[in-house]
Structure 1
Amino acid sequence: MSEEDTDPGERLAKRVAAQLHCSRREAEQLVAQGAVTVDGELATQPQQRVRADQRVAVAPGARPQAMAPATLLVHKPAGLDWSAPGFWARLQRDGQDALHGRPAVPGLFMNQRCVASLEVEESGLVVFSQVPGVARRLLDDAPLVEHEFSIEVNGAVDAAQLQRLRPARASISRRTETLTGLRVVLHGPEPGQIAALCRNAGLAPTALRRLRIGRMPMAGLAPGHWRCLRPQERF
């Protein structure tokens, strides 16, 4: 067995703190600023494990600075699990800030809390935040915040089925020979609640997408892309 296999390594922030004789928090801030490399590669996660034989370097003159907390609006594609280990790496690799058209700054995805989630098979607007006020609005005050969904089901939908979707408000947005599009609005839905209401109404959604949370629409976000909430924007 090689040394690489037997050495579990230590947290990157701990190594940086030891090298610079600074606090762990200051080391995390340096990683967040993009000031730390491991074997010449930019490191973005303070919890990354580094082995004893790996070279950890800090940019000359870098000083730890606290980043302003941010809220992220993400267009989650259907089939993508936001809680899976590779979710943030995929956003960093494949997504971009739709507002500025550029990759994320290191540290933007650190310690982000999901405050408006979706099930794996659902798509649309998901919200992550480092801002306590946003978490309170979307979690503690959830019954006050309206969520709008677009749903597609095979075949026709009658008035009785729309009534059975209560407490959600539902209306038909479009019809074709083979499917019906629905607009469904509900205050503070639990994850999976909209799909459960559909099942109770005898409907089997083929697509379920969240379009809006409160006053915040998903407009302009391509699947897999994200943007930061602007300071003047409110849910």
Structure 2
Amino acid sequence: MAKRSEQEFYSALEAARKPMGSGKHPFSLTWSEGGLSRAQLGAWAMQHYYYISAIPQQFAALYARMPDAAGRLLLMENLVGEEMPETPEKSHPNLLLKFAEACGLDRQAVIDAEMNGEVLGGTRAMRAWIWELATIRPMHEACAGIMVALEGQLPTLYPGYITAMERMGFSEDELEFFHVHVENDVEHARIGLELCYKYADTEAAQNMAIEAVRGSASLRYSMLSQVHEALSLSKAA
């Protein structure tokens, strides 16, 4: 099989994400149907904070490895959007802490979750996988596994969450973490696709990029399964 055309490659990347997409997980469906309490949402936020709190450093590591100026320029928007240097209280980790507080959690308790033995194995695996992608894996796999597989899910996943939480009485300010991902991650996923095609310059490289998408989607699905089980919503999905 020859190297796929740009559009064929994009379609294959997006198709690889769908079978284990987080939107199909029972936890996500329960959330979108309004079936989670504030306490349960807070438990999710604690796990998710551990997973995403290192994202700014991970993007910085990926940026430092990117071999050409054009690629770095494309990635810079993601990095600045995560860190928000002019308004650090708007960094994505800090927005998630604000949501956790709205769920009734103490901010420092969320930050100290690992120290307190509250981080689940699936959450640790997810964060470790992003570090592997950002620092070790070839550039086409890194961009596919982070930007296409993970950021690419959020613009369709989070609107259902937002609607359910608005019905629960959460304010727009408390839900800012979710709103910014809906607004920004369509563009981030597009940049990811562009970078994947740029760096996956052989059929084999394209195949590995597709596999990185499958790996990331599967790990995030497993992470949700552990949260689901920990909250006694069901046995692991």
TM range (shorter): under 0.3
Structure number with the bigger relative contact order (C-alpha 8 A, sep ≥ 6) is: 2
| Structure with higher strand content | 1
Structure showing greater Rg: 1
TM-score w.r.t. the length of structure 2 is 0.25
TM-score (normalizing by structure 1): 0.25
Report which of the two has the higher share of helix.
2
